C-alpha cells in the first residue's frame, strides 16, 4: 500500500513538472524576444553577473537588493520584505551614447575618469588609437549608479563639444516581477520534491526525485541569475563615450526660436517659389504641345476656309435663285397685263 501511494505521488509530480515545463517554455520565449530586441546584456554568464553584482554591493556597502530608478532618491527592495508579485518602483535600464570632440584630449579623459570615480562607477571597457598620425581617439563603456549618470554627463561638456548623443530607457519591471514569481513557484516545487524524497522507500523513486530536484535547482539558479542581471542593469546605467581629438572643435549653433514674422516671411517666400515653379512648368508644357497646336491650327484653318468657301458659293446660289425668281415673276406679270 505504501509503495502504491509513492507511485501515485510520483505520477502527480510528473504532471506538475509537465506544467512547469510549459511555463518555462513561455518564459524562455519572452527571454528570446527580449534578446532579439536588443537586450543582449541579459544573457551575461552567471559567474560574470554574480561578480558584477558582488563588486557593486561591496563598493556601496549593501546587504539587500538595491537599485536606482534614475532619480535623485535611491529605492531599496529587500528580497525578504518585498512581495515578489508586486514591485512598487519601476525598474528602468538607462543607456546613453555620446560622441565628443576636443582640442584638449588628455584633460577631457582625466575629467571623465575622475567624475566616474567620484560617482562610484567604473570603466567596463576602454580602447584608444591614433588617427592621422597624431590625433587621438578613445572609446569608453562606463557603468555608474543610475542617480549619478546626469552628474557624469554634465561634466563632459566643459572641455569638449558634444557632436551627437542618444539615450534609451527600458522598463523591465514586469519582466523582473514575472521572473521573481517563477523563482517562488520553483522553490515551492523544490520543497515538495524534498518532502517526497524524504518519504521515498524505493531506489527507482529516489532516482526520479533526485533527477527532478536537479532540474528544478538548475532552473532556480538560471532565473536568479536573470534577476541579478536585471538588478545590476537597473542600478548601474551604461554610458558609452567616444572622444575624438581635433585641431578645431565643431561649432554647435544655439537653437533659434522662430518668430511669427519669420513664419509669415517664410510662407510668403514659399508662395513666390511655388508660383514661379508653376509658370515654369506651364511654359515647359506649352513647349511640349506646340507641335500639336500647329497641327490643330492647320486643320482648323483648312476646315474654316472650306466652310467659308462653301458658304460663299451657297450665298451666291441663293442670290441667283432669288434673282431668277424675281425675273420669272416680272415676266408673269407682263404676260397677265397683255
Backbone angles phi, psi at 314, to 5 degrees: -65, -40
Do residues 106 and 166 touch, judged by C-beta distance below 8 A?
no
For 26-71, write each residue's pLDDT tens digit.
Answer: 444 444 334 333 343 334 433 333 433 443 343 333 333 333 333 3
In the numeric block, the cell 575618469 is attached to 113
With CA atoms as reference, report the closest residue to 136 among 98, 101, 160: 101
Backbone angles phi, psi at 252, to 5 degrees: -100, 120
Do β-strands 74-76 and 92-102 pair in parallel, antiparallel, or remain unpaired? unpaired
With CA atoms as reference, report the closest residue to 196 among 2, 10, 321, 4: 10
- State the pTM of this model: 0.47
> How far is 147 from 65, CA to CA, in rounded Å?
16
For 67-77, write each residue's pLDDT tens digit.
Answer: 333 333 333 33
What would the grid cell of residue 309 be?
468657301
CB atoms within 10 A of CB 281: 10
Provide the residue count of the chain: 338
Reduce the DSSP state of residue 134 to 3 states and report it: coil
Reduce the DSSP state of residue 58 to 3 states and report it: helix
Q: 310: burial class by Cβ within 10 Å (0-12, 13-18, 19+)? A: exposed
For 248-291, write each residue's pLDDT tens digit.
Answer: 776 655 566 778 888 888 898 899 999 999 989 988 888 888 88
Reduce the DSSP state of residue 87 to 3 states and report it: coil
Amino acid at each position: 500500500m505504501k509503495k502504491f501511494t509513492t507511485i501515485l505521488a510520483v505520477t502527480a509530480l510528473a504532471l506538475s513538472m509537465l506544467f512547469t515545463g510549459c511555463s518555462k517554455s513561455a518564459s524562455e520565449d519572452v527571454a528570446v524576444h527580449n534578446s532579439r530586441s536588443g537586450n543582449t546584456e541579459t544573457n551575461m554568464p552567471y559567474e560574470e553577473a554574480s561578480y558584477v553584482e558582488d563588486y557593486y554591493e561591496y563598493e556601496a556597502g549593501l546587504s539587500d537588493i538595491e537599485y536606482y530608478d534614475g532619480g535623485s532618491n535611491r529605492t531599496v527592495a529587500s528580497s525578504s520584505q518585498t512581495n515578489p508579485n508586486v514591485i512598487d518602483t519601476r525598474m528602468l535600464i538607462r543607456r546613453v551614447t555620446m560622441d565628443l570632440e576636443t582640442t584638449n584630449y588628455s584633460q577631457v579623459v582625466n575629467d571623465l575618469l575622475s567624475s566616474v570615480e567620484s560617482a562610484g562607477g567604473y570603466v567596463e571597457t576602454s580602447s584608444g588609437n591614433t588617427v592621422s598620425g597624431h590625433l587621438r581617439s578613445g572609446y569608453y563603456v562606463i557603468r555608474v549608479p543610475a542617480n549619478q549618470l546626469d552628474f557624469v554627463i554634465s561634466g563632459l561638456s566643459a572641455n569638449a563639444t558634444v557632436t551627437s548623443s542618444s539615450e534609451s530607457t527600458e522598463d523591465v519591471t514586469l519582466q523582473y516581477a514575472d521572473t521573481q514569481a517563477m523563482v517562488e513557484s520553483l522553490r515551492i516545487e523544490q520543497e515538495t520534491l524534498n518532502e517526497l524524497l524524504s518519504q521515498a522507500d524505493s531506489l527507482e523513486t529516489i532516482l526520479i526525485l533526485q533527477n527532478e530536484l536537479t532540474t528544478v535547482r538548475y532552473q532556480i539558479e538560471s532565473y536568479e541569475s536573470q534577476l541579478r542581471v536585471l538588478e545590476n542593469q537597473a542600478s548601474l546605467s551604461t554610458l558609452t563615450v567616444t572622444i575624438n581629438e581635433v585641431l578645431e572643435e565643431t561649432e554647435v549653433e544655439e537653437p533659434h526660436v522662430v518668430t511669427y514674422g519669420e513664419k509669415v516671411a517664410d510662407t510668403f517666400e514659399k508662395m513666390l517659389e511655388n508660383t514661379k515653379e508653376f509658370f515654369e512648368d506651364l511654359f515647359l508644357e506649352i513647349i511640349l504641345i506646340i507641335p500639336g497646336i500647329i497641327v490643330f491650327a492647320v486643320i482648323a484653318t483648312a476646315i474654316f476656309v472650306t466652310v467659308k468657301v462653301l458658304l460663299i458659293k451657297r450665298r451666291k446660289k441663293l442670290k441667283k435663285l432669288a434673282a431668277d425668281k424675281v425675273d420669272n415673276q416680272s415676266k408673269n406679270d407682263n404676260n397677265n397685263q397683255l
